[in-house]
Structure 1
Amino acid sequence: MTPDNKKLFNIIILGCAFMFMFTAFQTCGNVAQTVIANLNNTDFHGSGYTSMAVIYGVLSASNLVAPSVVALIGPQFAMFISGLFYSAYIATFIQPFTWSFYTASVFVGVAAAVLWTAQGNCLTINSDENTIGRNSGIFWALLQFSLLFGNLFIYFAWKGKSHISDADRRTVFIALTVISLVGTVLFFLIRKPDSPSLLEEDANVNGSLDAEINVPLENKMSKALDALKKSLQLCITKQMLLLSVSIAYTGFELTFFSGVYGTCIGSMNKFGAEAKSLIGLSGIFIGIGEILGGSLFGLLSKKKQCNRNLVVLLGIVIHTLAFYLIFLNIPADAPISSSTGTDNKAYMNPSVTLALFCSFLLGFGDSCFNTQLLSILGVLYSEDSAPAFAVAKFVQSISAAVAFFYSNYLLLQWQLLILVIFGFFGTISFFNVQWKAVALSSQQTAYSPRL
């Protein structure tokens, strides 16, 4: 296998591992509030929104030290350990207790910080400037297949059921736990890339478990401290501060499409007995949008026909349209009426077709932003990928934690207004960074010696 093919193989394995893990986790997040509202256990006092707020809050606090963990144990092993914590969190729904539910939320927050930092590191070291766009698209498309499989399972498992019984819940979450563990094991199939520059580095950079055994502990600790310093330094650079507005927007809209919108659809009594199963169908359409976007932009990037600013502009236009249609179709109290449902209507008779079309738009628009953010971070911070991706996840997780917290209280129109405001300013800030990156690249090309 050639070095380039081995790197592509690693990207595909990375995407497949995340696909299995997040088939379980994203499905879990999508139905958590609905499942909890249907529990027969009066001693359980947890909230799906609050759990996700805890996860993202802890994730944000953990992101600045995550590069040190990745540097200490290597990205491959870091992703494996993180996957075990994800599986444990999902397993708490099999027999939920308030204490175990929130304890697992804290641990999965730490694991998520390490997982996504290691993922960014692995993506970068298996890419170069010419392949980072393609690889970002491939990874994103594979990851978003998770929204198809898990939600398809939910759709058929809960079809026609107005109440989720304990037996229904256990069946779903035992299956999701096993799926998450399968994805976790797949991380061991990732191989060490055969790049000469990488082979000179130790295993904490290239992710080889075999090599890192021979690395002195002093070197590992030095790299861990260096990663922490770089993370703190990157936080206050102008370039990262501008990108942080775009990244924060992805956190707010992640909360909306992964937790809030499905809950809104499931609480619509006017959708009849199919309302609960429509949560799964909504997730499927979000996944179709994500996969189509990731695949499309990956192919265009490979042919060098993909302008990052145009893709992000397309994303904000699509999202704005989706928010407006949701505002017309879904009643204001839907996000906070999951236990009893809502009989209200918005500004039109509620339409299942329109609701699912908006799910597709949310997924496609999200892929526009995330594929381009992965790409620009990989290009701008190719030498410091782990700290850069950690800072990005730090910002995204703070905004997601805030969004999950206010989702317990704010009516739908105010949540949509927040998304529109951050989407607008996030797009402008991305344009600014991309224009400067293009100008810098042009200057370097103009002054580089001709061979």
Structure 2
Amino acid sequence: MDEETALVVESSSPTNTLNHKRDVHILCWAFLLIFLAYNAVQNLESTINTEGSLGTISLGISYVSFAVFSVVASLVVRKLGTKNALILGSTGFWLFIAANLMPTWYIMVPASLFLGFATSMIWVGQGTYLTSTAHSHADDYDLHEGTVIGMFNGEFYGMYACNQLVGNLITLALLRDGKGGKTTGTTLLFVMFLCSSTVGSILIILLVIPLQAYSGLQQAFVWAEYTKHLIKPTLGERGVGGAMAVYGVFDIICSVAAGRLTSGLLSITIIVSLGAFIEAIVLCLLLLNYSISGGLLSTLYLLLIGGMWGIGNGVLNTQLSAFLGILFKHDLEGAFAQLNLCQSISIAVVYFLSPNISLQTMVVIMLTALCISVVGFLFLTLKIEKVFSRHAS
């Protein structure tokens, strides 16, 4: 295990992503979905937002903002990391399209300013990410760098160029000339474009390890769902404190124990798998509505669920951090910034969904996310082993 750890740490091969071609495909589709929506909206601005030339002035503001922020974009991207910059950049296009549903000066101008900033982020992030991925692919497979860079850029810009065709065909299909010179179907069109931009942003997020996102989901689940749906109805609000104390005790013990047992990729994989299995048991019990009737036994059962979830949380926190520390030795700031971003977004998603869906629905979402995350993590570790085995030989 010492030899394995040294190999992973000291390898000069960039391993921010192991399936380079897949990541390029994801990036291509993400930009197509985002820009088919944005560029089609941009084409319409001078014709649908004509009062006071709101549409054209908004676009002018966005490009001035783009020029200004481009001066510092490389510094910001370096600080955030390329993947975080891509995610942040995608939000600007979504907000600008959404602003067109209520086009007023107070909404469009701020959206345009932020769009300029987002545009600088997404394009610097795209160029950096695509080039670094090409370098990694060339290194891992002993290929000529120039050839790989040209191939990846050709695929990306070929796909990106489709946005004008697809986006404007959607515009042609949905907009209708109404009576009195008014155009109908704009609301439906913008909603369609918002959905397209959303899917594009989600694809960019998929460039990030899914387990990072799940680590945030599972923390928020116990804070929002476990306390509200399980503890409060049985033990009252006072019982929330006791239950979360039990959760904390198991979290502490497991974090320390898992940290002591960590020695390399193999140990991390085994410990993560065990933690995921424990959380899967809890989720299955909740999904099946399994419960124990009776005062003391019922209380102990609910506390046991909290303790098991604390074990899972301790495992994921320690092992995910150790995994990033081993894998991203030369870009620790970007790796942990990415982890924090994924976790905070995931936690926010749970808090926003919690008031609007049932516990059973949330459990289904969590179980699905857990399965996807673990499969993705195991696939990634296998790819890492193959890459480093190839370098070792």
TM class, shorter-length: 0.3 to 0.5
Greater share of residues in helix: 2
TM-score (norm 2): 0.47
